[in-house]
Amino acid sequence: MKLAGIHHVSAITADADKNHDFFTRILGMRLVKKSVNQDNTSSYHLFYADAVGTPGTDMTYFDIPNAGKTQPGVSSISNTAFRVKSEQALQFWKERFTKHEVPHHEIMEKYGRQTLYFEDFEGSRLMLVVDDGKGIPYGEAWVKEEISADHAIVGLGPVKLTVRNATSTERVLTEVLGFTHAGSYPSDVAGMPDILVFTTGAGGPAGEVHIETRSDLPMERPGRGSVHHVAFRVPNMEDYPKWEQLLRSQGFMTSGLVDRYYFKSIYFREPNGILYELATDEPGFDSDEPMESLGETIALPPFLEPKRARIEAELRPLSINK
**pLDDT value, residue 106:** 97
pLDDT tens digits for range 165-195 = 999 999 999 999 999 999 999 999 999 999 9
**Residue 236 CA from chain centroid, whole number:** 20
Strand partners, 156: 82
Instruction: Please tell me what DSSP assigns to residue 69.
Output: B
**pLDDT value, residue 92:** 98
Report the percentage of the chain scoring pLDDT > 70: 100
Instruction: Give a three-class secondary structure readout of 148-197.
Output: CCCCCCCCEEEEEEEECCCHHHHHHHHHHCCCEEEEEECCCCCCCCCEEE
Q: Which residues contact 13 (CB under 8 A, 6 or more apart)?
A: 19, 46, 61, 62, 63, 64, 67, 122, 224, 225
pLDDT tens digits for range 242-281 = 999 999 999 999 999 999 999 999 999 999 999 999 999 9
Output the average pLDDT for the chain. Answer: 96
pTM of the model: 0.96
76 pLDDT exceeds 70? yes
Query: How far apart (Å, rounded) are the C-alpha atoms in residues 196 and 213?
Result: 9
Query: How far apart (Å, rounded) are the C-alpha atoms in residues 322 and 314?
Result: 17
* 291 pLDDT tier (thresholds 50, 70, 90): very high
What class, spelled out in words, does domain 6-321 have in CATH? alpha beta
* 322 pLDDT tier (thresholds 50, 70, 90): low
* 302 pLDDT tier (thresholds 50, 70, 90): very high
Hey, how many other C-beta atoms are within 10 angstroms of the C-beta on 293? 9
Strand partners, 60: 10, 47
Query: How far apart (Å, rounded) are the C-alpha atoms in residues 199 and 258?
Result: 26
**pLDDT value, residue 276:** 98
Mean pLDDT calculated for residue range 25-43 = 95
